[in-house]
Amino acid sequence: MRKPDVPIAHLPDDPELRAWLYRPSSIRKLWIGAGVVLALTVIAQFGVHVHEHFIIDGWYGFSAIYGFISCVAMVLFAKVLGYMLKRPEDYYDQIRIADAAEDDDV
C-alpha cells in the first residue's frame, strides 16, 4: 500500500517538458554517448596484451561479445522459463483460500 503522504508530481503531457532523463531528445544523446563509451572499451584493447587463460578468451573483443551474448541468452532463458513458472501474484493466497473452503465443506 502506498503511504498517503507521498508527494505526487503532475507529469506534463509533452515528453519534451519532463525531467531531462525522460525526454526523447536526451535519450537519443544518451544512446550516442553509450555507443562511444562501448566503442572505447573495445578500442582500448589495442594497447594492452590480454593474457588468455583458455584459448578463445584472449581473442580481441572476447569479453564484449561474451558478456553480450551470455546476457541475451540468460534473458531469453528466463523468458521461456517465465512462461512455465509465472503465476498471478495472489497464487498462494488463492490456494490457501481454496484449501480452507474445502476443509469447511468436510
Partner 1 sequence: MFELAFPPAFILIVGALLIALARPGMRPVIVLLAPIATVLAIWQLPDGVLMTAPFLGYQIELVEASGLRRLFGTIFALMALVGGLFGLKQAKWYELAAGYAYAAGAIGVSFAGDLITLFLFWEFMAIFSTVVVWCGATAAAKRAGIRYALMHLVGGIILKIGIEGTMVHTGSIEIEALALTSFDSWMVLIGVLINAAAPPFCAWLADAYPEGSPFGTVFLSAFTTKTSVLALMLLFPGESVLIWVGMYMVFYGIIWALLENDIRRILAYSIVNQVGFMVVGVGIGTEMALNGVAAHAFAHIIYKGLLLMSAGAVIYQTGLRKCTDLGGLYQSMPITAACGIIGALAISSFPFTSGFISKSLISQSAADAHLVWVWYGLTAASAGVFLHAGIKFPWYVFFQKDSGLRPKDPPWNMRAAMILFAAVCIILGCFPQLLYQYLPYTVDYEPYTAAHLVTQFQLLLFSGLAFFVMLPMMKRTLTVSLDYDWFYRVMMIRVARVLMAVWNQFVDLVADVWGKTGGPVAERMRSLHNPGGLLAQTWPTGSMTVWVVVILVAVVVMAQR
Please give the residue ranges that form the binding site for partner 1 (CB under 8 A): 1-3, 6-11, 18-19, 21-22, 34, 37-38, 41-42, 44-45, 47-51, 53-54, 57, 61-68, 70-72, 74-79, 81-82, 84-89, 91-92, 95, 99, 102
Nearest to 21 by CA among 6, 7, 11: 11
Closest approach of partner 1 to the CB of residue 44, in Å: 5
Of 7 and 104, nearer to partner 1 (C-beta) is: 7
Q: What are phi and psi of 95, to 5 degrees?
A: -65, -40
Give dist(CA 20, CA 38) in Å, integer. Answer: 23
Pick 22 or 28: Cβ nearer partner 1: 22
Contacts of 37 (CB under 8 A, 6+ apart): none
**Closest distance to partner 1 from the beta carbon of 55 (Å):** 9
Rounded Cα–Cα distance for residues 66 and 83 (Å): 26
